[in-house]
Chain A
Amino acid sequence: MSEILRIENVSLDVEKKKLFDFSITINSGDFFLINGKNGVGKSLLLKLFFLKILPSNGDIYLYGKKINENKKINILEYRKKVGVILQNDYLIPFFTVYQNIEIASEIQSKKEHFKKRIDEILDWLDLTKISGEFVNKLSNGEKQRVVIARALINNPQIIIADQPENYLDESTKKKFFFLLESLNKLGTTIIMTSNCHNMLSVNYKNLNLGKIND
């Protein structure tokens, strides 16, 4: 298993408060589940994993190379390999379901990949019938499925998800977790926060934020 991200003695200074202070190595094929109570900084930690924030202290190594804010090209390349599932208000409301998924391929220059995958993804997430609908007319559950579809369309090497099960019904949740486990078995790295860890049958690593912060 090759190293993707190595975090050494990293901490964040948030409003004069020191958060985290931990070290971790993420390899390809790892499955991390981040635990912790509300407000401990789970979403913040996820931002650190997809490099939307940089640590106040400590070092981050991307594929073995130390990064800082001047190495944006490397960070952009990394971001293109990551599928991020955040809350559904990050969708473009006046675009259709299809267009919202397509934009990810457009940005990550994986148009050929898109053609091969789009029908499969739409079908798998029950989005085929509503693929031409504008996102602002969808229910929260449907929007969440679009967010998942957008994150998965480019077959990412790493999936980072912030409570992806939100708004999903039970059967979709089961399907989604099954998909995550399958992708993980194929080598995809998964880092997520979730309240449905009981649905996971794969061996995952726990990252308990309560302990880290203590």
Chain B
Amino acid sequence: MINYQEVLKKILLKDEEKFFHGLSFVVISLIALHVVLYFNFYKFSSNWINLESQKTTFILTNNNDEKEIPLSISENIKDFLINNSLIDSYKIIDSSAIKSTLGLDKEDEISGLDLPMVFQVISSEEKTIDSIYKNIIDISENRFVEKYSHEDELFEISIIVNRIKIIIFIMFLVVFTLFSFLVMNIVKAALVTNFKLLEMLQIMGASSIELAKNISQSLIRKILPGSLLSLIFVFFISVVLINLFGANFEFFDSSLSTELIISSLFILVIFLILFLLSLLFFLTIYLFNFFENRFFDKL
């Protein structure tokens, strides 16, 4: 026995099958890429902002008669930072790194350049930072100490990050809407072309919901191979992007990379299921409406 759905599969989009596979691959890849970028960027930026906001930079300026902070004081500060259990981590910015950043690599010791001691402390507790500040003043024997919380400077960055997220989301919506619109129009064109055949099915007693369900299921099956291929493709792209971005960030470690890759795969699978289900739902509603409007001929 032939299957009723097979009939509709052959009636509709028979010649356009390869085109449909290609189209679904390209467009779903594009949409999935937006999804994976959105969620990875979300996770990426949240991690970065969270970590950055816990940082405080201390700048210890040397006295007028000093070329740099005396070794005994800098060693005491190091000891203090190592032994302080309230500090999550710290980093002393090497004077050569400062020179390098300023493009002064070739300046020698006899140049008139006075370099401060710069170090960063990571702690989410404000009280800890205040206590460190007081202690550093004591250890530095009342030298001039400045402290800058990175959290204050992150406000504008977080605004930009949110704007980027919104742009990615809007682009996702635009591509999704265009794809849905395109699919609807292709389906409508195919239905109108074959309407005499479909009308005969209606005359024989096929209900609108039965036709709508069968046609939309046939269409989803046509989209499925392209979308599965796009899932693999986008997953591969996201792995490359995660590793590419990760290499440029110091905080990035391999466990986070693995976590991001697994979560990307999870997000992609969930996205594909939801995407296909919502497309199936909208197509069924659209086709049901199409057939219901043509259940009776208009005079």
Contacts and interface: CB of A to CB of B under 8 A. Distances in A.
B296 A69 contact: yes
Contacts of A90: 196-197, 199-200
Nearest to B208: A72
B297 A111 contact: no
A76 interface: yes
Given A53-B296, A56-B299, A92-B197, A102 B203 contact: no
Interface residues of B, number: 24
B7 interface: yes
B14 interface: yes
B299 A53 contact: yes
A50 B203 CA distance: 8
A56 B296 CA distance: 12
B296 A103 contact: no
Contacts of B202: 52, 79
B270 interface: no
B214 to A, nearest CB: 11
A104 interface: yes
Contacts of A119: none
A108 B299 contact: no
Interface in A37-95: 47, 50-54, 56, 69, 72, 75-77, 79-80, 84, 86, 89-92, 94-95
A107 interface: yes
B7 A108 contact: no
A76 B11 contact: no
25 contacts: A13-B299, A50-B203, A52-B202, A52-B203, A56-B299, A69-B295, A69-B296, A72-B207, A79-B202, A79-B204, A80-B204, A80-B205, A84-B203, A92-B10, A92-B11, A95-B10, A99-B7, A103-B4, A103-B7, A103-B201, A104-B204, A106-B1, A106-B2, A107-B4, A107-B205
A14 interface: yes
A102 B6 CA distance: 12
Interface string B201-218: 111111110000000000
A54 B296 contact: yes
| Among all A-B residue pairs, the 9 with the closest Cβ atoms | A80-B205, A79-B205, A90-B200, A106-B4, A107-B204, A107-B206, A53-B297, A76-B205, A14-B299
Interface residues of A, number: 33
A12 B197 CA distance: 25
A56 B298 CA distance: 10
B258 to A, nearest CB: 51
Nearest to A72: B295
A52 B297 contact: yes
A107 B207 CA distance: 9
A89 B206 CA distance: 19
Contacts of B205: 76-77, 79-80, 107-108
B296 A102 contact: no
